[in-house]
Chains A and B, each alone.
Chain A
Amino acid sequence: MARVVFPDHLHRFTDGTHELEVDCSSFRQLVRILEEKWPGIESVLTSTMVAIDGQLFQDAWFEKIAPDSEVFFLQRIEGG
């Protein structure tokens, strides 16, 4: 089961949940599972940044997630 962590500013979309374990094999599947759990969260999660096992992604839709993966949702980073 992948460990999925939400920062505080996403807690209002997750009923306050900070972290949970999810059985999924891709980011797309993860988002769909979370959308079922918290309807409306998909658009939030796909417009934020995500780190999967230490790698930062601006758009991770088809990225693979392993059973022991760590997934962190982060604020999208821009630059100067």
Chain B
Amino acid sequence: MAEVANFKAIGTRPIRPDGVEKVTGRANFGADLNLPDMLHGKVLRSPHAHARIKRIDLTKAQAMEGVYAAISSADFPQEVTSSLSRNILARDKVLYHGHALAAVAARTPRIAEEALARIEVEYEVLPPVLTLDDAMREKATLVSEDLRTNDDENSPPSNIAATQRFERGDVTKGFAEADVIVQEEFRVPSAHQGYIEPHACVATSNPGGRVTVWCTTQGPFEVRSATAGVLNKTVSDIKVIPSEIGGGFGGKTVVYFEPVAVRLSELTGKPVKMVMNREEVFRATGPASATLCKIKVGAKKDGRITAATAWLAYEAGAFPGSPVGPGCMSVFAPYDIDNFLVEGYDVLVNKPKVAAYRAPGAPQSMHAMECAIDELAQKLDMDPIDLRLKNAAKEGTIAPYGPKFPPIGLVECLEAAKRHPNYVNKTSEEVGRGVAVGFWFNIGMQSSAEVNIAEDGAVSIMEGSPDIGGSRASMCLMAAETLGVPYETINAHVGDTESTGFCNLTGGSRTTFATGLAVVKACEDVIAQCKARAAMTWELDVEQVDWRDGQAVPKPGVNIDVEPLSLADIAKTMSRTGGPLLGRASLNAQGAGACFSVNWTDVTIDRETGKVDVKAFTAIQDAGRAIHPAYVEGQMQGGAVQGLGWALNEEYIYNENGVVENASFLDYRVPVASDMPMIDCEIIEVPNPSHPYGVRGVGETPIVAPLAATSNAVRDLLGFRINDLPLSPPNVLAAIDAAD
């Protein structure tokens, strides 16, 4: 591990290479592409949350002037029966309001809209299942008549798709030893990722079966495999070109209409463009799960936790696959607890299939646990940070989900919080303060990178991870550090699925870690080649050549009087020494270090309106090593604001028919700049030993703690707890009125 003092590029804050294009509006996002002779695709969506499809008649739509194709699920390979294929276009049943069931391609978007209105669908309307309580009760209406819990053929059909259970020690004995016990239930509503750019794609096809898809996505290779799966094609039939991306946060890790655009293009022989409007985004793309979490925690008088249980139910939407697993694995992750039991339930309801949203599963379960810890601190009259320090996980602690933690930075974050001036400066009586801890596992997975050296020594990186949060700059910084050349001589490019090696999606806080590792190794490949060419030039053995400060030099003790050869020097003569310099690396990165955070929120409450105002927010987080500190802070601030929005206002409001009544940014209230104070950040650096520069992923963890930190702040000010989110004005006012 290199020492921080030796870094020249890492830890600096240069401007991002893609910045000019983005701030001047030149960057091309998903909806910006237009091709000659292009058609416009539109999707017909269900007006019912739950209904059997008795008949779809496309003939009137197909007969319209300007309509080139109208399709339903019958136009897709019937042997493909995956949830994804049935989410993209419903088959026998529509499972949520907004579920796609037909699509058209027409000369203009308006003709396409008119054609949708001419599609005749006969439904048998069924009662919708809209809440966890309804879905889990005996004799509940079934979302899917074939679903059995954990695929157990001996079980009766159920809305519970899967269960989870983690257990250690003896919780009965642990609670018997406790001096204080807290037991509470918490509900967190569905929240949308709220990316500004809606889903958009353009698909073309040729008669040979080859297709090209341009789209906004976090993972072009995942779009390729998902599209191939739904259409029963091979991945080599499909090329996916990612556009710039206007936010994803997990919501652009799945496909919704890319296979539909491809099918329409195949049937019409023309390019087909599809763009969602905001209402479609809210009604038909995955939000985060709504949850019900029951927590019980017991502790001794000195604060040591003796036992804890968690019962966690997560809405999956209309198809199995909520993030209840990570929710279960993360709920007690910050703490060293000898006796615990965690039970989780993945539950179907007649709502859109949930999708990943920053640290998927963790914000909801950890909201419950961090609120319970706060209650415990109140009962024990302990400082909430001291209580957490008393029980904090550290290197060697066996994580609740099994493995031992390698070096982690939770204790360092808590200690930094205790001495932080924002924490030391106590709030006034009009201000409530709440503390919470955040956690995310982080992941590695597969990445590839190529590093090309131009004849003037300029460096060009080609990789396949869409740049959501400034990863191009981070790649350039790691390349600059490794090669020893100025940041300004390096460019990073995100390739398509045929111009770069395989990269898993940008998500799970993996890109700076895993794709960064590939870039470092590709640079090391270039260095090895440079050393060989310098050795050739100097008539030395390659073992006699070193690479220092961006130059090839003879190793100490080698008796030769030569001038060092810079990367530019070697590039200038590369045609003579073996041809172009090209470094490559591909890997399946392991050892993504877990990331912890500590946040606290200071709030005031207008007791007449119930409005909660965030007056100050402080985020402390272990980044392992901050490659570009400004972008680490950007992740911390962005995650904090999304978490605060979830805590304070964001929720899906359904009517009794399962129709979302706030499917626009006017009624679904995300925080805007004027709602927020400056988010103060402090980066802690406990290097991850599995990365040459110590990187940990930083993008997921920041959304986790703000939910409970805000709940705890409101509890501090009101003197009683509001267990359910959001802490919106009507909910807070009702709680105040009830307490009065």
Q: Which residues of A contact B (CB under 8 A)?
A: 5, 7-9, 12, 51-60, 63, 70, 72, 74-80
Task: Find out whether the CB atom of B360 lies under 8 angstroms from the CB atom of A80.
Answer: yes
CB < 8 Å: which of A52, A56, A76, A80 contacts B700?
A: A80
Task: Find out whether the CB atom of B403 lies under 8 angstroms from the CB atom of A7.
Answer: no
B-side contacts of A7, CB under 8 Å: 164-166, 401-402
Task: Find out whether the CB atom of B356 lies under 8 angstroms from the CB atom of A80.
Answer: yes
> In this complex, what residue of A is CB-closest to B403?
A51
B-side contacts of A74, CB under 8 Å: 329, 401-402
Task: Find out whether the CB atom of B591 lies under 8 angstroms from the CB atom of A78.
Answer: no
A55 to B443, CA, bound (A): 11
Task: Find out whether the CB atom of B406 lies under 8 angstroms from the CB atom of A77.
Answer: no
A54 to B150, CA, bound (A): 27
B-side contacts of A9, CB under 8 Å: 150, 162-165, 325
A7 to B404, CA, bound (A): 16
* 12 A-B pairs whose Cβ atoms sit less than 8 Å apart in the complex: A8-B163, A9-B164, A55-B403, A56-B403, A75-B326, A77-B326, A78-B508, A79-B508, A79-B697, A80-B249, A80-B357, A80-B358
Are A55 and B165 also in contact (CB < 8 A) when A74-B402, A79-B443 are? no
Are A70 and B152 also in contact (CB < 8 A) when A7-B166, A55-B590 are? no
Interface string of B245-265 (1 = CB under 8 A from A): 000111101000000000000
**Majority DSSP secondary structure for residues of B touching A:** loop
Kindly identify, within residues 332 to 384 of chain B, every residue whose CB is under 8 Å from any CB belonging to chain A.
356-360
A30 to B249, CA, bound (A): 36
A68 to B151, CA, bound (A): 34
Task: Find out whether the CB atom of B402 lies under 8 angstroms from the CB atom of A79.
Answer: no
> In this complex, what residue of A is CB-closest to B328?
A75
Interface presence of B123 (CB below 8 A) = no
Task: Name the distance in Å between A63's Cβ and chain B's nearest Cβ.
Answer: 8
A5 to B592, CA, bound (A): 22
A to B contact number (C-beta, < 8 Å): 107
Q: Total interface residues on B, using CB and 8 Å?
A: 48
A-side contacts of B700, CB under 8 Å: 79-80
Kindly identify, within residues 438 to 455 of chain B, every residue whose CB is under 8 Å from any CB belonging to chain A.
440-445
A48 to B458, CA, bound (A): 42
Task: Find out whether the CB atom of A55 lies under 8 angstroms from the CB atom of B150.
Answer: no
Interface presence of B624 (CB below 8 A) = no
A-side contacts of B497, CB under 8 Å: none
Interface presence of B273 (CB below 8 A) = no
Interface presence of B193 (CB below 8 A) = yes
CB < 8 Å: which of A8, A59, A70, A77 contacts B164?
A: A8
Task: Name the distance in Å between A48's Cβ and chain B's nearest Cβ.
Answer: 10
A-side contacts of B166, CB under 8 Å: 7-8
CB < 8 Å: which of B359, B406, B588 contacts A55?
A: B406
A80 to B509, CA, bound (A): 8
Given contacts A5-B402, A79-B700, 5 further A-B pairs with CB under 8 A are: A12-B152, A53-B404, A70-B404, A79-B697, A80-B358
The 7 residue pairs across chains A and B that have the minimum distance between CB atoms: A79-B508, A80-B250, A72-B402, A51-B403, A75-B325, A8-B165, A54-B404
Task: Name the distance in Å between A44's Cβ and chain B's nearest Cβ.
Answer: 11
A-side contacts of B699, CB under 8 Å: 80
A76 to B329, CA, bound (A): 11
Task: Name the distance in Å between B328's Cβ and chain A's nearest Cβ.
Answer: 8
Task: Find out whether the CB atom of A54 lies under 8 angstroms from the CB atom of B405.
Answer: yes
Task: Name the distance in Å between A8's Cβ and chain B's nearest Cβ.
Answer: 3
Task: Name the distance in Å between B309's Cβ and chain A's nearest Cβ.
Answer: 15
Task: Find out whether the CB atom of B360 lies under 8 angstroms from the CB atom of A72.
Answer: no
A72 to B700, CA, bound (A): 23
Task: Find out whether the CB atom of B592 lies under 8 angstroms from the CB atom of A56.
Answer: yes
Task: Find out whether the CB atom of B249 lies under 8 angstroms from the CB atom of A58.
Answer: no
Interface presence of B220 (CB below 8 A) = no
Task: Name the distance in Å between A17's Cβ and chain B's nearest Cβ.
Answer: 14
Interface presence of B93 (CB below 8 A) = no
> In this complex, what residue of A is CB-closest to B402?
A72
CB < 8 Å: which of B151, B358, B406, B441 contacts A54?
A: B406
Task: Find out whether the CB atom of A75 lies under 8 angstroms from the CB atom of B329.
Answer: yes
B-side contacts of A56, CB under 8 Å: 403, 441, 443, 590-592
A31 to B592, CA, bound (A): 23
Interface string of B158-177 (1 = CB under 8 A from A): 00001111110000000000
Task: Find out whether the CB atom of B164 lies under 8 angstroms from the CB atom of A72.
Answer: no
A-side contacts of B360, CB under 8 Å: 78-80
A75 to B329, CA, bound (A): 9
Are A79 and B507 also in contact (CB < 8 A) when A8-B164, A9-B162 are? yes
A76 to B358, CA, bound (A): 16
> In this complex, what residue of A is CB-closest to B642?
A80
Interface string of B596-615 (1 = CB under 8 A from A): 00000000000000000000
A-side contacts of B508, CB under 8 Å: 77-80
